[in-house]
Structure formats: structure tokens, C-alpha cells
Amino acid sequence: MSINAFPNFRYHPDPVATGNVGPSTITCRVCQQARGYVYLRDAIHAGREDYSEQICPWCIADGRAASALDIAFACSLDIDESVSETALEELSLRTPGYVSFQGQKWLAHCSDICRFLGDPSVEQVSQASAATIEAWCAANGTDEAVWLELASDYVPGADIGFYTFECLHCGLIQFHVDAT
């Protein structure tokens, strides 16, 4: 077991809390060490291999896993154009991803990627701020009635998924919403 501090992920600050990294005695296939935690999800790659429960979060954080295995972890194909290449690279190559019904989507704000905080509570959705609802309506080209309907149907773990993102610069909370 390593005594190293858990790595710091700018865009996914607590991947254990969000359920994407878990405690494990497994030996990481990249660093060959059993460091106490493993990434629970598959990586993004062209092959058929499944990389879930094989890679430690330290090898994600320092980019070793991405370069050694030619894989990526988190990605969003339609992210804001104002986000820098550096930020996109940190997201795809050095950030643990998450699982959603329709594939990962990472939100951006203030010209940067937002940090992913996992599934919100019912209260966090029902008490969303006017700015949060406005951002969602603008991003989805719809109006507040649709938001209210989705929000009132939200039950964590059921068939509508809400995913929480927080802007690292202004603190705006945004939700990505999808369904089974």
C-alpha cells in the first residue's frame, strides 16, 4: 500500500465519492503496485479490451496510464470552443471519467471545464438557483417548464440522471440531465 496522498483531480475532485474510483487490493497494470484504489470504469479506446478495475488513480493523474496504454478517460465531444487545448487534454488524459445513461458529457463555464461533483440530492435539484435553471434552459434550447418537469421526476438512481458540475471560476452549479 502506498502512503502517497490521493491524487488531486482538477475536474473530478472526489472520484471515490462519485463512485468512479473505489478501494481495491488490485495491482495496477501500469505501475505494478497495489496502491489501495482502482478506477472502476473502462477507459476510452478503440479496442475491445475492458480496462475497468485495472488502473490506479495515481497513474491516471500523472498521465502514465494514458500514454502507456494509448487510452483516454474522460471526454466531451461538444464542449465549449473557448476551452483551451490544455484543459481538454487534462480532462481526457488525466481525469477519471464517470458513467451516465447516454455517455459522458462534461459542462464548461468561464472558458474552462467545470468540476464534476456526481449525482445531486433531490434537494439540490429542487432548490436549483435561477442561474442554474437559466443555464440549463439555454444549453438545451428549452424553457423552465421542461426543467420543472424533469426536476420533479428526479429520484437518485432511477431512470432520469442528473450530474452536477461546478464552475471553478464563478461557482455556478450546472446540471447535465439524461435518461435511460
What's the closest the beta carbon of residue 109 comes to Zn ion, in angstroms? 4
What's the closest the beta carbon of residue 55 comes to Zn ion, in angstroms? 6
CA 158 to chain centre: 19
- Whose Cβ is closer to Zn ion: residue 124's or residue 160's? 124
What's the closest the beta carbon of residue 28 comes to Zn ion, in angstroms? 3
What's the closest the beta carbon of residue 142 comes to Zn ion, in angstroms? 21
- Residues near Zn ion (CB under 5 A) are 28, 30-31, 56, 59, 109-110, 167, 169-170, 172
- Whose Cβ is closer to Zn ion: residue 15's or residue 154's? 15
- Whose Cβ is closer to Zn ion: residue 172's or residue 173's? 172
Burial classification of residue 99, based on how many CB atoms lie within 10 Å of its CB (0-12 exposed, 13-18 middle, 19 or more buried): middle
Rounded Cα distance between 54 and 68, Å, is: 13
Copy the grid coordinates of residue 176. Answer: 447535465
From residue 104, give the alpha-carbon distance in Å to each of 5, 9, 27, 44, 76: 27, 17, 27, 11, 6
